[in-house]
Structure 1
Amino acid sequence: MAHPRRVVRAALVAATVALVAGLVARMPSSAFAATGDGSPTDANITFTGRWDTSNASAYVPGWAGAYLTTGFTGTTVKLKQRNSIDFYYSIDGGADQYLTNQTGTVNLTPTKLASGNHTLRVSYRVVAGSYHGDAVFQGLVLDSGAKTYAVTPPAKLIEFIGDSITVGTTTSKNALTAYGWLIGERLGARHTQVAQGGACLVTTADGCVGLEDYFLKTNSSATSANWDFTRYRADAVVINLGTNDLAHGTHTTTFQPHYLHLLEEVRAKYPAAKIFAMQTFCKRFGAETKAAVQSRNTAGDANVFYVPTEGWLVAADYTDGTHPTDAGHRKVADQLAPIISAKL
């Protein structure tokens, strides 16, 4: 006959095993996501920009120009999508390839790669205006036995705040051919574009998205959660706002204090960043923008700079009188990149 203490001990062990099994069954599978498996929670994947990660199985970029990067082994890589979306991808630093209307598991390597280590970057098309693709990252599929590996990101990060011009509207590759992306790549920095087509500085009753308010948000939705600024720190912030405000009823008497408030918000979130306030290319609110910068300088913030843009672009550099062409964005990058680089 079994000893009573052994019976009790066995019963306790069995109960503990059952309890643990029950807890495990109720925990989300993402809690066990292994580094290297290519899932959204894989620590080897770097997400640059503002990504909504509230759903561990589906990460969603919140603004233009967000992208993900990682290394991977093996000969193939596939991207898991939910519904139809257009996106750009680059393997091993090559030219960005564009795929449209992609769903399900998308093979990014129809021609197999040489066996070994490779890198991948993916950026989804901006979901805005008439385009309503399903920008969502659900993970990578690799060869059997292959895995991701971490790629050290650049040390510096530059954030660009603006409207459709900063988005890259009317350029050949949208955010990828906008001046912010070009400058980030040129300076070897990570780069984000917190920008929305039609955006204003000031939120208005007629629905203009005001970056004074939405700078603090994960995306441009009215129900967006506040962004967690501990997830990254910008070393430089470039603001290009004011092109759209006049059409939405914001005038010179109100523009300057709102711009000053945005500068104060940026400084509060990024205490060490260099902040560049651009004169709009259409020259609207230039005096008010410069005065807001001077107010910050007078208050003791020497790392806020006004950037005049006179002479940067001519009529031939625009597609429609407002939005620069690809060549126009390159000219802006030629002018602005040295200004940022000198301060960083």
Structure 2
Amino acid sequence: MLKQINSLMLALSFFYLSCATLNINTSKEDNLSATALQPYGRDVRNPEQQLEMISSAVHFGFSFEGAECQVFASIPDVNGHNYLQYELDGVYQKRIRLEGKAKLPIRLTAPAAGKHTVWVYKATEAYTGPILISKITGHKVKPLRKPAAPLIEFIGNSITCGAAADPAEVPCGTGVYHDQHNAYMAYGPRVARALGVNFVLSSVSGIGVYRNWNSNGPTMPQVYEQVDFRANNPQRWDFNTLTPQVVSIALGTNDFSGGDGKEARLPFDSATFVNSYIKFVQQVKSKYPKAQIALLSSPMLNGKSRETLQNCLTAVKRNIDAVNSRAKPVALHFFQPMQASGCSGHPNVEDHAKLAQELLPFFKKLVP
């Protein structure tokens, strides 16, 4: 009898061990390395095999099963901070502040178990520094690609970045400049989502065509080919990485700026602006010969400045179309003037929704 009891206990112990092992295996987390991610936007794979998210709204996607996953993200500046933001199952969630000294991964949770998709975006621009992604962990975590669709590249300044647009967490006039950045809610990504197309942002706050808001340079034509839009960086962006069908250029607001009041500012020079703009469009066309070029004015300019910018853009179009008679004619859109409600005179997230709504019919005609 004792022998039978011992045999039964041994069998039960083996059954328990088998169940426990099975339970451990089914809950085991998988690792998705940064090298497997497929980002949209300007990025770098550094020697540590991390993904460096550089440009505004550069993003990557992945799927996982269960109720949570972890994103291993960091920034190089231990004394600084930066921001990510994300979608879960196609629904925008929030911005996430990354502290330079933080060591723990970002934990993303779903309301229920099952299969989920996540798209992670950089909320800030290149000048705030890169965000480093080492890996993603979760059950059955896999990289995602965007569905095949046309691509729009949005070139511009702080407006295109979504800078100073979101004071929900850090009020205007407090914190540092990028505390109010929200690239996901900027007009370009909104237009792309509404049209069901892909997008990248190539934008820098304060930048212009022939001069910046408070300096003579480096301007967009001088930094466009650098991977992070910094003139002193020898690393160039590989323009074969992505091929946009439409390139939208929204520059000029800062060329018209009166400066910061610290140094003398010459009056706006229409001839220099037009000539510089023509050269920049030709520079862009040399990277994307078949792309449709679209020039946008500025919603921030009114009165005489608005009229002058529109005349300048018309002159740029006339010249480019004459030189490239077999190419698609340059498209123009002149914004309606806007009284912006964001920080330091910028559009806020609601203003960006209005800009996107105004632009939708225009881009709908351009997207193949």
TM over 0.5: yes
The worse-fitting range, judged by mean Cα deviation, of 236-245 and 66-75 is 66-75
Query: Is 1:267 matched with 2:267?
Result: no
* Equivalent in 228, 232, 235 of residue 223 of structure 1: 232
Question: 1:162 — aligned with what?
Answer: 156
2:60 is equivalent to residue 50 of structure 1? no
Q: CA deviation at 1:51?
A: 0.7
Alignment of 1:1-344 (within 5 A): 37-42=31-36, 45-55=37-47, 57-83=49-75, 84-102=81-99, 103-110=102-109, 113-115=112-114, 117-127=115-125, 132=128, 135-143=131-139, 146-172=140-166, 174-202=182-210, 206=215, 208-224=217-233, 225-247=235-257, 249=266, 251-281=269-299, 282=301, 283=306, 285-299=309-323, 300=325, 301-309=327-335, 312-315=336-339, 317-319=340-342, 322-344=345-367
Is the 8 Å Cα contact of residues 202 and 258 (structure 1) preserved in structure 2? yes
The 2-side partners of 1:152 and 1:325 are apart by 27
- Kindly state the Cα deviation for residue 213 of structure 1 after the two structures are TM-superposed: 2.3
The separation in 2 between residues aligned to 1:261 and 1:153, in whole angstroms, is: 34
Give the superposition deviation at 1:227. Answer: 0.9
Matched residue SS, 1:72: strand
- CA shift for structure 1 position 242: 0.8
Q: Please give the root-mean-square deviation of Cα atoms over the aligned residues, in Å.
A: 2.5
Name the residue aligned to 1:27.
none
Kept after mapping to 2: 8 A contact 1:51/1:66:
yes
What is the CA-CA distance between 1:318 and the residue it aligns to?
A: 3.8
Separation in 2, partners of 1:136, 1:200: 28
- 1:203, CA displacement in angstroms? 5.5
Separation in 1 of the partners of 2:146 and 2:129? 30
Cα pair distance change 1:110/1:63, threshold 3 Å = closer
Give the conservation status (yes or no) of the 8 Å contact 1:198–1:208.
no
Tell me the TM-score normalized by structure 1. Answer: 0.78
Mark the CA change 1:40 to 1:275 in structure 2 (over 3 Å): closer, same or farther: same
Q: Distance in 1 between matches of 2:343 and 2:110?
A: 40
SS in 1 for 2:231: coil
Residue 219 of structure 1 aligns with an amino acid whose one-letter code is D
1:134–1:277 CA distance, 2 compared to 1 (3 A): closer
SS at match of 1:341: helix
Task: Give 1:328 deviation, angstroms.
Answer: 2.0
Residue 290 of structure 1: SS of its match in structure 2? helix
Deviation at 1:321, TM superposition (A): 7.6
On the 8 A contact 2:62/2:141 being kept in 1, the answer is no
SS at match of 1:68: strand
Q: Which moved more, 1:283-292 or 1:227-236?
A: 283-292
Q: Is the contact made by 2:55 and 2:126 (CA closer than 8 Å) also made in structure 1?
A: no
Shift of 1:285: 2.6
Whether the 8 Å contact between 2:285 and 2:291 is mirrored in structure 1 is yes
Give the structure with the higher percent strand: 2
Map Cα deviations across residues 246-273 of structure 1 (whole Å, 9 max, x no partner). Answer: 4465611211111011111111111221
- Equivalent pairs counted in the alignment come to 299
Question: In the alignment, residue 306 of structure 1 is paired with which amino acid?
Answer: L
Q: How far is 1:64 from its partner?
A: 1.3
Number of the residue aligned with 2:78: none
CA distance in 1, matches of 2:228, 2:315: 29
Residues 1:38 and 1:165: Cα distance change in structure 2 (over 3 Å): same
Gaps of 5+ in 2: 1-29, 76-80, 167-180, 258-264
Aligned-partner residue type, residue 139 of structure 1: K
Structure 1 residues 51, 177: closer, same or farther in 2, change over 3 A?
same
2:82–2:124: 8 Å Cα contact kept in structure 1? Answer: no
TM-score norm. by structure 2 comes to 0.74
Q: Which sections of structure 1, spanning at least 5 residues, go unmatched? A: 1-35
CA distance 1:228–1:80, change in 2 (3 Å)? same
